[in-house]
Every structure is written in C-alpha cells, then in structure tokens.
Amino acid sequence: MIAVMGATGTGKTTFVNLASNSTMKVGMELHSCTDRVQVAQSFELDGRPVTLIDTPGFDDTTKSDFTILKMISDFLPKQYDEGTKLAGIIYIHRISDVRFTGMSAKNFRMFRELCGETTLKNVVIVTNRWGEVTEELGQAREAQLAGEFFKAVLEKGGRMLRNSNTLESAHDIVRAILKNQPAPLQIQTEMVDEKKDISQTAAGEELNRELQKLMKRHTIEMEELKTEMKEAARIKDEETRLELMNEARILQEQLDRVKGDTVQLRQEKEERERQIRQQQESMELRLQEQQQLFQQQMNREREEPYQQQLNREREANERQQREVQRLKEQQESYQQQLYREREESYQQQLKQEREANERQQREANEKAEIKQQAEALRKEREHALSRANWEDEVYWPFTSAGNWTTMQGMWRLTFPSI
C-alpha cells in the first residue's frame, strides 16, 4: 500500500489513475476534486500486488485544512490498527511552479509531520509537468528543490524522481518504493499506539500553529482593507471600494474558515480530553472492581488456609482431648485396678493376719492348754509324788501283803479326788 500526497492541483489523482489504470475523477486547474481519501483499484507490478491511496491536499478549495487532516487521520491510523503498514509515500510537486510558495511550504511541513523523521527514508518526491518547462529551467528548479526545500527528506534517505506522465515512468516510481521496508507513519503511531487525539499529534500542532499565523495575518489584512475602504469611500472611488469590499469578503471568508478550523481543533481536543477522562474514569472503575475482586480472591485464598488451619487445629484439639480422655480413662482404670489390687492385697493381708492371729491364738490356747496340762501333770506328778512319799512314809508300815486292800480303802477315804 502506497500513499500519494501533495498540494491541490499537482496531479495526484492523474498519477494514481495512470499507474493503476483507475478512473477516479480528476480536478481541473485550481479546483480540487479529491474531497476524500480514495483507494484505487489494486494492480500487480513485478509479481507484487500494489494499492495506491489518493489523498486530498491541505490547500483544498472546498474543505478546511482541519477537515483534510481529519480525513487523513481517520483513514491511515485505521489501516495501521488493522495491521497494514505503508510501503512508502509519494509526494508530488509541480516543476512548473515558478516559486515554492507559502502554501507549498505549508503543505510540505504538514506532510513531514504526518510522516515523521524515521519514515522519510521511504518517501519519494516526484516532480511532474516537465513538458511545461524547458529542460534547462527544469533542471535548475530541480536542483534548487533538492538543495533547499526537499533537502531534509533527501538527507534522511528519501529520493527524488521525475514523472514523464507515462505508464512506464509511473511504474518505475512505484518500483522504487516496493524495495522499501514497510513502516508506520508518525500520525499512525501517535493515534494508535500512543492514543493521542488529532490536536495532540505533531501534524495537529503544526496545523494549529499555521492557523494562528493565518488568523493573525488575516486580521492585519482585514484592518488594512477596512482602512483602504474608508479611504476609497472618502474620495468616492466606487470601483476601488467595490474591489476592496470583494477582497474583504474573501479575506473574511478565509478568516472565518481559519477560525472554524481553530474551533474545530479546540473542540476536537476538548472532545478527546472528555473521552480520555471517561476512559480514565472507566479504567479507574474497572481497576477498583478488579482490586475488589482481587482482594476478595485474596481474602478467600487467605480464608481457606485459615479455615483449613482452624480445622486442623480443631481436629488436633479433638484428638488431643480424645487422647487426654483415653489417658484419663486409662488412669482411672489403672487407679481402679490398683485400688482393687491394693484392696485384694489388704484383704488378703488382713486374712493372713487374721489367720496368723487365729494361729497364734490357737497356738497360745494350745500352749495354755499344754501349759495347763503340763501344770496339771506337774501338779498330778507332785501330788503323785507327795502321795507316794506319804504312802512310803505314813502307810508303808501297814503295807503288807495281807493289809494292802485295807490300805487302798483308807487312801480313797483320805484322798477322794485321786
């Protein structure tokens, strides 16, 4: 895709029609015909598809410079946003122009601001209408253009070619651009990548400066015309007064047009600022919503581990409580078992002590009984001994074989308990 630019009446549409075999309407002389950005029918050159874009000039006879800039800034950034980059730009200048006028200079300044310094290497400046000047005069003007007005572009890598108004010449110019590496224009990156409005772009700022200068110049010229009109009325020069009135009307129209462009630029800037504010407010609102969502997500993410931790701690506490309860029950069981064992041991000990006491009592009783028996035996023995002694001492003399029975009877009478 190649853009064709230049002042009104330089032959942009003619060149596009010739190169692409299109039939777009061509303006005549000073009246412009290109009132919008036009895309010519595509054609193939050296096996490559080519599409030429015809753009209106900034000195259009029917539209203001702001309107022209608006049309260009609506079309080119849209193409870039859709992924299309320009292979190059053709800037057409009439070699037949006697001077490089202020209007031409303004057009070229706007052209440079549209392109940007980095894209000037893809620019081809085409001079046409060589048939209207001699070769010597054309070469002199070409040298002057290359050395002064177009010097900055040529120093950046741009080229300057002639158009002889033939198909071969037009295609040679297009071939020179097909070798370029496609690159975005400055206005495309400003409006698409940097999100600027028209008034904030380099071209918009340049247009605003031009409008301010035009407004100041037109205001001065208007005051001069008013002074001349008063002088013509004083000397009753009706013809001069009418001419001045006509000039004043034209100048007023130009002044109104410049003011209109200025107002449109200001309105465009204000509208863009309003849109930016709305976008910022919308972005801030979305950012707040995202922050809230993020905070909620963070809270959930924090809450989930916290709840999990609480659950783990609760489960651990429950396990601990169960363990404590189990140990407590185990301790109680152990205490009960120990109590039973102690009770059984105590009862057994009591039983043993009771049995021991009983044994001791029995033994004591047996000992007492034995002692009593022994005492009784002793007493009986002593008694027996006493009786024996008595018998020996008292009754012995009577103890004879014949008196024995009598002696036993006497013994029983004397000791009946024995």
Kindly state the percentage of the chain with pLDDT values over 70.
77
Highest mean pLDDT, choosing among 143-147, 238-242, 249-253, 256-260: 143-147
Q: What is the pLDDT of residue 15?
A: 93
Mean per-residue pLDDT over the chain, rounded: 79
Lowest pLDDT segment from 166-175, 227-236, 344-353, 409-418: 409-418
Q: What is the pLDDT of residue 402?
A: 45
Is a pLDDT exceeding 70 seen at residue 161?
yes
Is a pLDDT exceeding 90 seen at residue 369?
no
Residue, of 322 and 297, whose pLDDT is higher: 322
Q: What is the pLDDT of residue 277?
A: 79
Q: What is the pLDDT of residue 316?
A: 85
> Average pLDDT of 377-386?
73
User: pLDDT band at 172, cuts 50/70/90?
Assistant: very high
> Average pLDDT of 182-188?
89
Lowest pLDDT segment from 35-44, 189-198, 209-218, 288-297: 209-218
Residue, of 206 and 34, whose pLDDT is higher: 206
Is a pLDDT exceeding 80 seen at residue 59?
no
Q: What is the pLDDT of residue 143?
A: 93
> Average pLDDT of 270-297?
80
Assess contact for 255 and 213: CB atoms under 8 A.
Answer: no
Per residue in 323-334, pLDDT (tens digit) is 888 888 888 888
Kindly state the percentage of the chain with pLDDT values over 90.
21
User: pLDDT band at 34, cuts 50/70/90?
Assistant: low
Q: What is the pLDDT of residue 30?
A: 43
Is a pLDDT exceeding 60 seen at residue 395?
no
Residue, of 48 and 342, whose pLDDT is higher: 48
